[in-house]
Amino acid sequence: MPSPLRNGDLRSPAAVLRQIPFQSTVSEQKLRRLNILILILRFAAFCFSLAAAVFMASNSSRSHDSHSWLHFPTFRYVLAANSIVAVYSLFEICAAVWEILKSETLLPESVQLWFDFSHDQVFAYMLLSAEAVGTGEARRLRGGGACDASGGFCVQAYISVALGFSGFAFLALSGLLSGFRVACFVITGSRFHL
Amino acid sequence: MPSPLRNGDLRSPAAVLRQIPFQSTVSEQKLRRLNILILILRFAAFCFSLAAAVFMASNSSRSHDSHSWLHFPTFRYVLAANSIVAVYSLFEICAAVWEILKSETLLPESVQLWFDFSHDQVFAYMLLSAEAVGTGEARRLRGGGACDASGGFCVQAYISVALGFSGFAFLALSGLLSGFRVACFVITGSRFHL
């Protein structure tokens, strides 16, 4: 069904003006809700990626063979990717809180929208690839029998990878919303069309 | 002297109506160009993922240690992911050709748009994770000295993974365009707003 807004050119100017106050109140409420949803997703991505980074960084076996994440390039990649996503999410949380409080974006609107979308996409792909190779490495360690001597190391690596996958899921959802905002901006000239 | 074109709102309704066929012709041309761009991206994704699948499937060393992709779960995953993307891209090529020829979507419009977008996203993530673990496995083989005896096997695995990454890039670009189409449909009720 076509939106009634598409027939705007058939309405009289007075009718258009009468609609504006009502629409803007409803729109503001929806806009606020969407901003809060984005904030929640960012916060979840931050928590999970930070937890994944901490779990991986503290993952050193205390037994005689002394496994450590430092000896595995893939686990170093997992730690780096999760740390980058945690820092980025923290910045985005600040930007989202600023937007909710001040009703305007931290950076100029178009810059902020394209920045959010491009970084969400790139970091989501980076985090997914890190978790994928991390899973491969953890499976290989278990298959090679390395987990028998130092079970704690393998379990902690698995937990870190699982937390990283959760962080990726929330980041990908944020990416969908920021993509929608960019498309709104390109099509209508406003970052929200609700 | 002001240009007569700037006083557009003073034109008679007949003059406005005379403009409409011209505008819709321009839109149709742009729509056609966008459809052709999508078709090219689909075709590139199909070629690269098919080539990656063929390279991986034919990757069996003929030397005495008889390496084969079948012995590596990660390479089996690479082959499966590339095959799935090749089949999906072939279907999408047919859908795009149909849309260009008939000016309507193969499935009902909203179903087609959401189908394209969701599958682009999911398959892009799947292909990226497959290529990431494939890269990890190939690096591990080289590090373990397995490539010295059967260099051809490793080189072919690397080529397959590189082709798969190219396929992923084109699939991700298609995903951006199909995401834009979905957003257009949600916002304006039409799959193209040009």
- A3 and B188 within 8 Å at the Cβ level: the answer is yes
pTM tops 0.80: yes
If one compares A17 and A44, the residue with the highest pLDDT of the two is A44
- Prediction ipTM score: 0.81
Give B60's strand partners: B68
Q: CA-to-CA distance for A5 and A9, rounded, in angstroms?
A: 9
Name the percent of chain B in helix, strand, coil, to the closest 5.
Answer: 85, 0, 15
B78, B125, B173, best to mutate vs chain A, most A CBs in 10 Å: B125
- B125 and A3 within 8 Å at the Cβ level: the answer is no
pLDDT in tens, chain B (194 residues): 444 444 444 455 555 444 444 446 777 787 788 889 999 999 999 999 999 999 999 887 655 556 777 888 899 999 999 999 999 999 999 999 998 888 888 888 889 999 999 999 999 999 999 999 999 988 888 887 777 766 688 888 999 999 999 999 999 999 999 999 999 888 888 776 65
Maximum CA extent, chain B: 88
- A188 and B184 within 8 Å at the Cβ level: the answer is no
The answer to whether A186 and B177 are in contact (CB under 8 A) is no
pLDDT at A5: 42
pLDDT at B97: 93
Q: CA-to-CA distance for A155 and A174, rounded, in angstroms?
A: 29
DSSP assignment of A108-147, as one string?
Answer: -HHHHHHHHHHHHHHHHHHHHHHHHHHHHHHHHHHHTTHH
Give the tens place of pLDDT for each residue, A72-117.
889 999 999 999 999 999 999 999 999 888 888 888 888 999 999 9
> A-chain residues within 8 Å CB-CB of B121?
172
Of A2, A129, A187, nearest to B128 by CB-CB distance is: A129
CA atoms within 13 A on the CB side of B56: 32
pLDDT at A6: 43
**A12 pLDDT tier (thresholds 50, 70, 90):** low
Mean pLDDT for A15-24 is 50
Neighbours of B89 (CB within 10 A): 27
pLDDT at A104: 84
Hunting for tokens 């966008």 — which residue is that?
Answer: B34
Give the tens place of pLDDT for each residue, A126-164.
999 999 999 998 888 888 777 776 668 888 899 999 999
Q: Which of A9-13, A187-191, B37-41, B58-62 has the lowest mean pLDDT?
A: A9-13
The answer to whether A104 and A169 are in contact (CB under 8 A) is no
